[in-house]
Amino acid sequence: MKISLRDNINSLSFFKANFNKIVTDQKKSHRPFIITLNGKSAGVFLDIETWEEISRKIELLKLINEGEESILQGKTVPLKELKAMIKEEYGF
């Protein structure tokens, strides 16, 4: 997802005046719209699909990080034990 400084960053007043067009365009492009206030970045507007995708990726990265931390702390289970635990818990 590449941000175009010319197309994706604009003032709050532009955002308000062109909200419908921005929403329509965003549904197609899935690109974030950076909103500025007094010449400084103030917020980001995303379509819901992009927000959900980003949220899922963040959650996956958190799980990966937790797994890596567990490994570093020696909190691992041999594969044979894991298979037995899954079989006992879920019956397969």
Secondary structure (H, E, C), the chain: CCCCHHHHEEEHHHHHHCHHHHHHHHHHHCCCEEEEECCEEEEEECCHHHHHHHHHHHHHHHHHHHHHHHHHCCCCCCHHHHHHHHHHHHCC
Task: Please report the pLDDT score of residue 16 as a whole number.
Answer: 96
Indicate whether this model's pTM tops 0.75.
no
CATH number, span 5-46:
3.40.1620
Task: Please report the pLDDT score of residue 2 as a whole number.
Answer: 65
Task: Please report the pLDDT score of residue 92 as a whole number.
Answer: 80
Q: Which residues of the chain have pLDDT under 50?
A: none
Question: Domain locations in the chain?
Answer: 5-46, 49-90
Task: Please report the pLDDT score of residue 89 as a whole number.
Answer: 94
Task: Please report the pLDDT score of residue 88 as a whole number.
Answer: 94
